[in-house]
Amino acid sequence: MDGQELTITGVLGERGDMQATVRIERYADQGRCIGHIDGRVVFVRFALPGELDEVVLDEPHERKDRFWTGEVVAVHEASAERVSPAWQLAGPLAQGGGVGGADLIHVSLAGQLAWKSKVVTEQLRRLGHCDVEDVPVDRIPGDEQSRGLHWRTRISLIADEEGRPSMRRRQSHHRVPIDTMPLASEAALAVANRAGLFDGGFEPGADIHLAVPEPRRQATVSASSSLHDAAEDGSAAVVSDRHEWRDRHESSLVDIGENYAVLVNGVVTAGRPLLHESVDVLGRRFDYTVRADGFWQVHRQAPLVLPRYVIDRVRALLDDRDHAVIWDLYSGAGLFTLPLARCTVGHPRLLSVEGSRPAVEQAVANLERAGVGDVEARTGDVAHVLRHVPKHLAHPDIVVLDPPRAGARADVCRRISASGAMGVVYVACDPTSLARDTATLTREGYTLRDVHAFDIYPMTHHVETVAVFVRGERGERR
């Protein structure tokens, strides 16, 4: 689309909002790009670097803030990475979109990887004070064939005034009814259609949550194959005919069985409250029971990709060390804990720490079911728990941590350093938080040895990054 003019017409520009023509300069965080209007920074949604865009500013733009925010309403000179949104409802407001959840829907898949690489790299340089090369971002197997759609195993919606499942439109209280969810996995859509979820009938305002673990026996057959066929024959990227979905996925429903949950206002109305997840790491199968309303990696392949990569990094750091001590912080239901206990050599001893009591209860049950006994699972704020670590676990060789979006923060980073750990494997869902924690860890004597990212959130600005730190230049232990 480079050099072409794309005119977006619709609902904006009719209220007398301030509009301006802006040359877009570079990527920013949170799915926006940066331009300037009269010397003032403006963060623009649905833009791309190098474009000449017509931008409408968000209200109230009269404030004397250091920056403004706005959204593209017309593209006069388009980037080569711009594509027509595969899911129009998630596109710009002026194009009838605005529901959220896919803020890079206007960017090619290759452009999304470049965007995320640039953001992670620049945040590590600017906030982490690290001289890093461009961070590679790996696409998850199957996502190119499915064109970045159909990866979510869990979705959350809200019932509109007529009881239909809907999503909120940005900058308004309006709820947009939907009859499909293009980011949902094929398994999730099959269950949704069987349960009549998109038929409505909910109490207005009800919170609707659907969780459907990926049926692993069908992992090679799901979205990656059927949607590839759709792409080859030129059919639409989004299949909206619920009956067609139902016909195509009867075999998938057999594999799913009752391993799913529909929750309305936190109450399971179909399926069951505890779900089964399975993960293969280094030839071993790990089985998990997780709460339907609890945290689990949402991309259908992320529970496979991330543990494999993390365990490989841990094994390399340990270098066949016997009787290692490992901390698994922000451990959830034990996604990393089980393979850390079973796939690292020399009978390691583990301390796992998680703030959610239900998640820890599930982790303990998962460990017991797997016959893993040498793990001490603690519940509580991570920084607080690390003040009272038993002596035999107080000095870990390796620390693995997967904190929430806010990051581990300085207190936890300093306690990791005080423990004397020779290596840290940090799994981050937010580049800015990772960069800030990187600055703390480097001040505490660690060196960033390796950083790699994974696009487990296609069509969104989110990205998962795994950073490996070692003590000093050679990773010597203090």
The CB density around residue 25, as the number of other CB atoms within 10 Å, is 16
Catalytic entry in 33, 343, 413, 429: 429
d(C-alpha 112, C-alpha 126), whole Å? 21
d(C-alpha 388, C-alpha 353), whole Å? 12
Verify whether residue 343 is a known catalytic residue.
no
Tokens 């720490």 sit at which residue?
353
Count Cα neighbours of 142 within 13 Å in the Cβ-side half-sphere: 24
Tokens 């016997």 sit at which residue?
322
CB-CB contact of 461 with 115 (8 Å): yes
Phi and psi at 139, nearest 5°, equal: -80, 145
Counting DSSP H helices and E strands in the chain, the numbers are 11, 23
Q: Which two tokens stand for residue 102?
A: 């896919």
CA distances to 37, 91, 269, 281, 301 from 460, rounded to whole Å, are 26, 11, 30, 27, 16
Q: Catalogue the E-assigned strands of 114-153.
A: 137-139
Residue type, 37: I
The residues annotated as belonging to the active site are 429
